[in-house]
Amino acid sequence: MVRTEISLFLENVPGQLGKLAIHLSDAGINIDALTIQDASEYVQGLFRARGKSLKRIAPAASYGSMKKDSADHALIRLLVENTDKAIDLLSKEGYIFDIMPVIALEIENKPGTLAEMARKFGEEGININYVYGSALPGAQKSLFIFSPEDIELAARIFKD
């Protein structure tokens, strides 16, 4: 199923995730899935993916500054039950964020199920940019979020 993921940067200091979670909680917005990574890894990945083409856009000093500043932030990706309400809240609170479509799959929590999903992506020639997910031990289902390069094709493959 296609869902809308919210990506935002938080200052990498104690209390920032709690502050975000309190804002969402106070507005009655439940978090369905969340992943956090050091933003410098994300920025460095952009550099590797785009290679020399970035150098045509800005001077080297700008990129050095971006790498340094990104180490002070964390990249948060989350799915919430009411995306429109969350977007309004994040805007009001001054967060800088982006949204993008992802594929959210509720799958059987047993060995081989994730392998089957990944196999389907591969057979269709769809590259997976990133994936995150989890299940409670002993739970029947797990939730995995896929960011494929071709969202339309992935949506057709995994429609319920």
Please name each of the domains of the chain with its CATH number. Answer: 2-98 (3.30.2130.10), 101-157 (3.30.2130.10)
As a whole number, mean pLDDT of residues 39-54 equals 54
Per-residue pLDDT reduced to its tens digit, 102-118:
999 999 999 999 999 99
As a whole number, mean pLDDT of residues 30-54 equals 68
In order, the DSSP letters of 67-116 are HHHHTTEEEEEEEES-HHHHHHHHHHTT--EEEEEEEEEEEESSTTHHHH
In the predicted model, is pLDDT for residue 50 greater than 60? no
- To the nearest whole number, what is the mean pLDDT of the chain? 84
Read off the tokens for 94.
């001054």
